[in-house]
Structure 1
């Protein structure tokens, strides 16, 4: 039987991995009793809108990949289709409030404020660094989905 990360790697097109990630993220919100709105077209700068605590938040879904033995990473820019098969790479700043990241390697879900995200690629560390460094580290426990969702529910 194949593990999750192998199944993701076996999806031939990046769009299929993205669709799988979006479904997993939608399900994560649904089981937490959070309404999820989906745009009618796929050319919006966000993938979902959720209503939490009476407020709406635009969400860009991302799939994490292994960066090292201690980290996973995700791209903080999106490639959007423009006219005549050209592509444009744009950041989410001002176009979404959160990245909802699915990590198929560890089966984790993260909710990362766009304002916290690095430009281009963001690494999330799920193991303590061997040198004990803490400054400048994006620790996984700071972005775990359930905890961040509880933060959004607070007034």
Structure 2
């Protein structure tokens, strides 16, 4: 069996990891019979548009990484080149959802941008041995199939 985490770590360039994640997310939608539209230019502030229940949603794809034992995290901001260095900006407005691929557990999540935390969002996929819960969301609440079920309701 292929170790997905090792495959991702072997991709030295972050752009390649991002492209792999986008392909995995696209296929997840297609396998669920959801049309996927891809912007012609890479300068758009989102990666995909999906049509669910007759409505269109702009999606930003992200790759999760191990944060601490039992959690994964992803960045909720992008770094844009600016004249005086780089400018970190959020996705509230340009995208409606983060579609997150977790190569550690082979899970796909769909998280409303409006529910995400600033800078980094952490998802717990295993119960904590300590009672540390502040600022960490339960991964199961954002599983792709659960969220799509909600979006399909009228």
Normalised by the shorter chain, which TM-score bucket?
over 0.9
8 Å CA contact 2:122–2:135 kept in 1: the answer is no
Trace 1:13-52 onto structure 2 (pairs within 5 A): 13-52=13-52
1:76 aligns with 2:76: yes
Q: Secondary structure at the match of 1:138?
A: strand
Aligned partners of 1:39 and 1:87: how far apart in 2?
24
5+ residue gaps, structure 2, are none
8 Å CA contact 1:43–1:80 kept in 2: the answer is no
Aligned partners of 1:140 and 1:131: how far apart in 2?
17
8 Å CA contact 2:121–2:136 kept in 1: the answer is no
- 2:121 is aligned to 122
Aligned partners of 1:70 and 1:4: how far apart in 2?
17
TM-score by length of 2: 0.92
Q: CA deviation at 1:60?
A: 0.2
Structure 1 runs, 4 residues or longer, greater than 6 Å off: none
- 1:140 is aligned to 139
Aligned partners of 2:86 and 2:38: how far apart in 1?
22
Question: How many residue pairs get matched?
Answer: 153
- 1:153 is aligned to 152
Trace 1:105-120 onto structure 2 (pairs within 5 A): 105-120=104-119
TM-score by length of 1: 0.92
Q: CA deviation at 1:77?
A: 0.5
